[in-house]
Each structure stands twice: as structure tokens, then as C-alpha cells.
Amino acid sequence: MRNISVVAKSPPQLVAPCDPTPSGILPLSSIDKTTAVSFMLDLVLVYGHGHEPSKLIREALSRALVPYYPVAGRIVVSDTGDVEVACSATGVWFVEASVDCTMEDVNRLQRPLKIPVAELLPQPPSEDDMEGVILLVQVTEFTCGGFAVTIRFNHAIFDGIGAGQFFKAVGEMARDLPRPTISPIWCREAIPKPPKLSPGDLPLSPPPKFVEVTYDIPLHSINLIKNQYTKETGRTCSTFDIAAAVLWRSRTRAIGGGGGGDVHVGFVADIRHLMRDVLPEEGAGYYGNCVYPTGATASGNAVAQGSVVEVVGLIREAKKKLAAKVANWFKGEAKEDPAKPRMDYGALCLTDWSRVGFSEVDYGWGDPVHVVPLMPAGHFAASAIFLKPPVHKQGLRLMASCVIEEHLPAFNDEMMSACMSY
């Protein structure tokens, strides 16, 4: 089927806070300023129905930007070269769009997309207007009454939980709550400033041409693996542990990683619970980057030939080391830069969006049908994002871009076998 283009977009407009807000300069944290989060992240929230959603969301944004006033500002560089936020109340860019088709015509924006990504992305009037921007939003309305909200946020200002917190607040404003349920906290200066370490590896050049695929792991398979893990070890494990193990083992087998050498899986973990001494209320309301990268390295043979339960054990051992790693980083005793990525083909990077809050953004017509990350083409690292599945399914959705074309058939076979054999 041909692509269906968005037929109309309003000129981008700035949405500012609806009431006066504080002005001035706010600092970013040492985590906010790492190169690992200095980019725009794009996603779409898909909704089955709504009434004049563009108007409602625009007004709700304006209200939410009062307590979240830094988001209406701009990222600037000081005279000393430090990256900061100028609280100028300039506003966030907002675009209204409509498309002459129904949600079903485009398969509710499931992959592969039948609307070009560029048509879904909000853009400012000119490239100059993009400088320092923290947030852009586009609401695209369909003829059936469904709509999609595209969010482009600067990762230096929010981590996933922080962005989810902000947009849940927008939803609460749309539902006419007097204030956000969770009060936002800036508090970036409280994050420790450990010394900088050596930069990360150079990416592979040219980058591999990863193929994008999506898998749904059924809830019953997840529960069966959890039960098997408990039976064999006497301990419990999480859905993330299982999905990470299944994906890591399947990919390692598919790329021939069992033939020798090490393979690596990396992921970032929320560390708000480890910030009790520096953030108020154990980080409740903190919407900045509060994550720390960790991961597991093992021989390809151990991962490829191990059972899922054994690979889950490797994931859990890596997670157990997190608190000590963070403590060493705070004290300036880290042995390597936590933001240093692994860029070889044997490395896999995982991101868990299933619990950050995007799936609970309710503007008054219920939660989104599903969440669609818009991963950039040509990225350097093998990666996967974990998502809640569409509303009619239970389990976990994996959106992966982690193998090249020649490894895809074997990868599909391994994933199907791992997900369906339990």
C-alpha cells in the first residue's frame, strides 16, 4: 500500500505558560550533560478517539508549563562554556495536523509506518528556531476521531521517567485537575559531579545497516520463564530480566557469537532510589536524567549455549552491582566512564520504556492504544526498546534494531523459538 501523507499542517506556534513564571538561569546536572543524552528523542502516542484533541492538549500544555516552567525555556551555553537552561518562558513548539484517512487505514501506526516519519514530526519554522529547543509537540487528527501525539523532547532535560511524568501532568491538566499529582523538582545541582574520564570508543564506520523488527512476548511465556527461574534458583526475576535474556541469547546465536569472543548487553537503570541523600523524597518528582548505565559481559559461548534461566542470572548479577558502581562514581572512584558506549557488533543496548509512564498519558479518553518510538535511521549501536504491548495484548513488546539483513532469518527463528517454547 502507498504511503498516506498528512494533508494539512498548521504553521508551528509557540505555546507558553498560561501564567507568569520565574525567570533566570538553571544548571543542568552532571548526568544531564553527558554526551549519551545530548539528543532529541521522538515518539508517538496513538489514541483511538477524542474530541478536538489539538485544542485541549494545547491548552493543557500551557497549564503544565507553569509548574514545569524550565521546559518553556531554552538550552544555552554560558560564557564559561557550561550548558544551562535559560528560563525565558519562550514556549514549546506546537503543530496541529490532520490526515485524510482513518486509524485503521494506517494500521494504527503499527510498523511498518504507512505515514512518512517526516509528516509525523513537528518542526519549528526554521532551523534557527530549533536552537536550544527543549520540546516540540504535534497532534495529528484522523477522520475516524482517533489522533496521534508526536513528542520530541531534548534528552538532556528529561530521562524517560521524567518525560513520562511531564506528559502525565499534561494529561491531568487536560482532565481539569487543579495541579499535577506529582510536583516537579528541578534540583539538578544536587547530583554529584565526579571527574570526567576518558571518552568512549569511536563508533563503527560505516555503521551496520540494522534491520528493524518487532516481537511480542506473550504474558504466559513470561510467567512460565519466571516460574522456571524460581524453580531452578529459589529466587525471583523481573519481566525485564526475561526479555533481556531472551533477546541477548537469540541475537548472540543469530550472529554466530557462540564461536568465540565476548558479547555484551548494556542498559540504563533508574537510580532515584539510590539518591536518598541528595534528592528530596527519594527523587519523587525529579524529572532530570537520573540513570546509570550498566550491563553484563560474558563469553559468546556461555550466552549462546546457556539456558534462558542461566542468561537471566547474568542479567541479574549485573543489576546487583549497580549500587556499588554508582557509589564509586559519586566518590570519583569509577574505573571507566559510565557514559562510554560499547560500539562493536557484539554489543547490544537495551532501553525499557514499558514502565516510564508514556503508556499512562490520559487526556480524558483513556490511555494510548500503543506507543511508537521513532528510532533514527543509521544509528551506530545494536539496540532494542521494551514497550507495553497494544491494549488488546498482554506481555511485552520488543522493538529491535540489532541485526543486519543476513542475520535476520536466524534471529527471527531464535526469537520465535524462545518466545513460544515455554
Q: Residue 7 — pLDDT band, cuts 50, 70, 90?
A: low
> Per-residue pLDDT tens for 143-161?
999 999 999 999 999 999 9
pLDDT over threshold 60, residue 378: no
**Please, what are the domains in the chain?**
8-190 (3.30.559.10), 210-420 (3.30.559.10)
pLDDT (average), residues 269-298: 90
Burial class from Cβ neighbours inside 10 Å (0-12, 13-18, 19+) for residue 421 reads: exposed
Distances (CA, A) of 331 to 106, 120, 325: 52, 44, 10
- Percent of the chain clearing pLDDT 70 (strictly above): 91
Q: Give the residue among 378, 352, 292, 384 at the shortest CA–CA distance from 34.
A: 292
Instruction: Give the torsion sign (CA, 211, 216, 221, 226).
Output: positive
pLDDT over threshold 70, residue 377: no
Distances (CA, A) of 259 to 133, 225, 248, 302, 382: 47, 26, 15, 10, 19
Q: What is the pLDDT of residue 203?
A: 54
> Per-residue pLDDT tens for 169-226?
999 999 999 999 999 999 999 998 887 655 555 555 577 889 999 999 999 999 999 9
Strands of the sheet with 24-27, listed across from one edge? 24-27, 83-87, 74-77
> Mean of the per-residue pLDDT values for the chain?
91
pLDDT (average), residues 83-89: 96
CA distance linking residue 198 with residue 169, whole number of Å: 38
Identify the weakest region by mean pLDDT among 35-39, 76-80, 173-177, 389-393: 35-39
pTM: 0.92
Q: What is the pLDDT of residue 5?
A: 63
Extract the C-alpha cell encoding 238: 523481573
CA distance linking residue 187 with residue 98, whole number of Å: 39
Q: What is the pLDDT of residue 375?
A: 75
pLDDT (average), residues 223-247: 96
> Per-residue pLDDT tens for 327-370?
988 888 776 666 666 668 889 999 999 999 999 999 999 999 99
Q: Tell me which residues are annotated as active site.
A: 155, 362
Q: CA triplet 264, 216, 391: central angle to 5 degrees?
A: 130
Q: What is the pLDDT of residue 1?
A: 46
Burial class from Cβ neighbours inside 10 Å (0-12, 13-18, 19+) for residue 271 reads: buried
